[in-house]
Amino acid sequence: MSTSNRLFLLDAYALIYRSYYAFIKNPRVNSKGENTSAIFGFINTLEDLLKRESPTHLAVAFDPPGPTFRHTAFEAYKAQREKTPETIIWSIPYIKDILRAYQIPILEVEGFEADDVIGTLSLKAEREGFEIFMMTPDKDFGQLVSERSFIYRPRYGSSEFEVMGIKEVNKKFGLDHPCQIIDLLSLMGDASDNIPGCPGIGIVTAQKLIAEFGDVDTLLNNTDKLKGSVKEKIENNLEQILFSRFLATIRRDVPVEFVEKELRMVPRDENKIMSIFEQLEFRALMKKISASNSYALPKTKSSNTQLGEKNNFKPIFVAASQPGAGKKNLAGEHLQTSLWDEQGNTTAASSPSFPKDKTRQNAGNDLFSDNLTAINQDDSSDHLPETTLKSLKTEPHSYHVLDNEGAIQNFIDEFSDTDFFAFSTQTDNKDILNAHLLGIAFAKEKNKAYYLPCPQNQKNCQELLNSFKPLFENESSLKIGYELKNEILVLHNYDLPLRGPLFDILIAHYLIQPELRHKLDFLAKNYLNYQGLTEESILGPKGKNQKSLENLSIDVLSEYASEQADLCLQLKSVLEAEIKKEGIDNLYHEIEAPLIYVLADMENSGVYIDTEALKSSSVLLT
């Protein structure tokens, strides 16, 4: 068997869950109201893998419906996990149909988790001379790592992918052999799977015990050498430790056969793929598929079967109430597991080398945190790395501060006869009715904006803004902004009324995509391919230690505010075109936009409450 044979085994549900939660604040919802986030993320990752690594063989493992042998033995196994979201349940059939269109085998064996199926196939593939790469963020898979089996995972917080061999696994978990991960979990437990371990024994103590005794069996046979509370904890929980080891051990005797030709990559059925993508409204992916000549298929030397001649097969589901019993599945027929777990069980080996000219870019799969202290938690991350986006650092721009009378007068002269402008206010308080202005940014040309700092004294600020009244009161010029109701209320505090037609970026996008997020930075990324400044980027992480806008330097605040006005201006033309395309321009201009003034006036005026009438109603009703 040629060493060029490279089998990639994917843990489906880990990837699907990761894709779903990565988009949880920004779900991808099509015109039918269907949340396609999990499907979209899964397919993007699959496409990225195929083009980056060109595997010779590949399969995707799913967990089977119903309990596995671990659930039968331990009712509380994974019982703490929340119910599978309905969106994921709805997505699974689509994902499986897409995999069939790609002619990629689906692995799923009744009574066994995907981990066990991957563990069994990786062992059998090793014997056939394959290199195996297990895509998973799950620490359990570390016990499966050997001289020929590796964990393939995105490096957390980076654009690089990482291949973990024996050396890397040992270093990450502080062990001598990957198989000791089983012993580690037996002692410290695993909160993500509800494996109990030994109460009171954490990762540090577990590592020390393994370093001293080598494995759990040796430890339990030598408890007389232990001292103090550790001795007491171990001796009082002997059976629980052994049972935890049973739960943590990935089975490698699942009734499934390794059939090389069924796992070999063959050309995908692009007609079927395009049909499914069209149904899901994956227009960008459709263009991507049609623009490419499919992925490159590697050459293999292991069979006389030609590429494209994969046998048609139906999934065989094995009833395996007795571990290892029952008729065996052929690998390449529907079976299932998890996609980002790790374990290892042989002696030292280094990770395989990849061609130096092959860039290993991360396409958004940060599923494996390098934080070892999180071992009892799910190692997946919702973080999606940014694609290459434009920003202030890459885009030429001209932002000015109006900090003297001459600059202010020149600005007023320039803007006095404009037909439109965008603006953005900055305040010291999110309570709009009681907020004080820090400044206002204006823009009427792309990448050009002006920022007016406002005095902290309200009287002085109001006097400064008096010269801007004609600009805001001009009933013929269009005012563009984000959440203009709040802007109206802020300006009202300074006797600065806003008049004329309005284009509100927030409302416009809500009409176009009501199910999506509507924050300005999100819109800039999606419509302008631009990474804008965020409050977190200039103020620091949310929390008690976060700075406030009023404490920022004028340079930082002016750049932040100017960019917001600039982005609103640029987004206006994009969203206005979308509104016309969707045929909802009358809805916006005749109903939504006029309502902005009405709602601002209502909020400013408040609602009169007849307390006496309420008291009478209270007496009557109670």
Residue 106 pairs with which residues in a beta bridge?
Answer: 60
Of the spans 40-44, 433-437, 440-444, which averages the highest pLDDT?
440-444
Q: What is the model's pLDDT at position 351?
A: 39
The pLDDT of residue 617 is above 80: yes
Q: Is residue 198 domain-resident?
A: no
Q: Is residue 379 domain-resident?
A: no
Identity at 523, one-letter amino acid code: L
What does the alpha-carbon distance between residue 484 and residue 221 come to, in Å, rounded to a whole number?
72
Q: Is residue 450 domain-resident?
A: yes
- Phi, psi dihedral angles at 233 (to 5 degrees): -65, -45
Domain count, the chain: 2
Range 346-370 average pLDDT: 35
pLDDT band at residue 294, thresholds of 50, 70 and 90? low
414 and 269 housed in the same domain: no
Q: How many CA atoms lie within 13 A of 365 on its CB side?
A: 30
Q: What is the model's pLDDT at position 296?
A: 55
Q: Is residue 570 domain-resident?
A: yes
Q: What six digits make up the tokens of 119? A: 């563990």
Work out whether the CA dihedral 349, 354, 360, 364 comes out positive or negative. Answer: negative
Q: Is residue 263 domain-resident?
A: yes
421 and 337 housed in the same domain: no
Closest C-alpha among 248, 291, 22 to residue 143: 248
326 and 473 housed in the same domain: no
68 and 135 housed in the same domain: yes
What does the alpha-carbon distance between residue 486 and residue 490 come to, in Å, rounded to a whole number?
6
Helix (H, G, I), strand (E, B) or coil at 168: helix
Q: What six digits make up the tokens of 545? A: 């230690």
CATH number at 123 reads 3.40.50.1010
Per the rule left: phi > 0, alpha: psi between -120 and 50, beta: everything else, 51 is alpha
Q: Is residue 112 domain-resident?
A: yes
* pTM given for the model: 0.51
Q: What is the mean pLDDT of the chain?
A: 81
Range 356-363 average pLDDT: 33
Start-to-end CA distance of the chain, whole Å, equals: 84
Range 261-287 average pLDDT: 91
459 and 319 housed in the same domain: no
Residue 593: give the domain boundaries: 398-605
Q: What is the model's pLDDT at position 233?
A: 92
Range 576-595 average pLDDT: 93
305 and 409 housed in the same domain: no
- Phi, psi dihedral angles at 151 (to 5 degrees): -95, 130
552 and 598 housed in the same domain: yes
363 and 450 housed in the same domain: no
* The length of the chain, given as a count of residues: 622
What's the alpha-carbon Rg for the chain, to the nearest Å? Answer: 30
The pLDDT of residue 350 is above 60: no
What does the alpha-carbon distance between residue 13 and residue 182 come to, in Å, rounded to a whole number?
22
pLDDT band at residue 93, thresholds of 50, 70 and 90? very high
490 and 415 housed in the same domain: yes
What does the alpha-carbon distance between residue 42 and residue 95 come to, in Å, rounded to a whole number?
8
Pair 450, 442: CB distance under 8 Å: yes
What does the alpha-carbon distance between residue 2 and residue 441 come to, in Å, rounded to a whole number?
65
Q: Is residue 189 domain-resident?
A: no
230-233 contacts, C-beta under 8 A, 24 or more apart: 230/201, 230/205, 233/198, 233/199, 233/200, 233/201
Q: Is residue 56 domain-resident?
A: yes
180-188 helix and 238-248 helix, angle to the nearest 10 degrees: 130
308 and 442 housed in the same domain: no
For 104-162, the pLDDT digits (tens) are 999 998 888 889 999 999 999 999 999 999 998 777 889 999 999 999 885 554 445 68
What does the alpha-carbon distance between residue 76 and residue 88 come to, in Å, rounded to a whole number?
23
Residues 6+ apart with CB under 8 A from 464: 452, 454, 455
464 and 360 housed in the same domain: no
Q: What is the largest CA-CA distance in the chain?
A: 91
Pair 584, 547: CB distance under 8 Å: no
Range 597-620 average pLDDT: 87
Distance of CA 146 to the CA centre of its chain: 30
31 and 68 housed in the same domain: yes
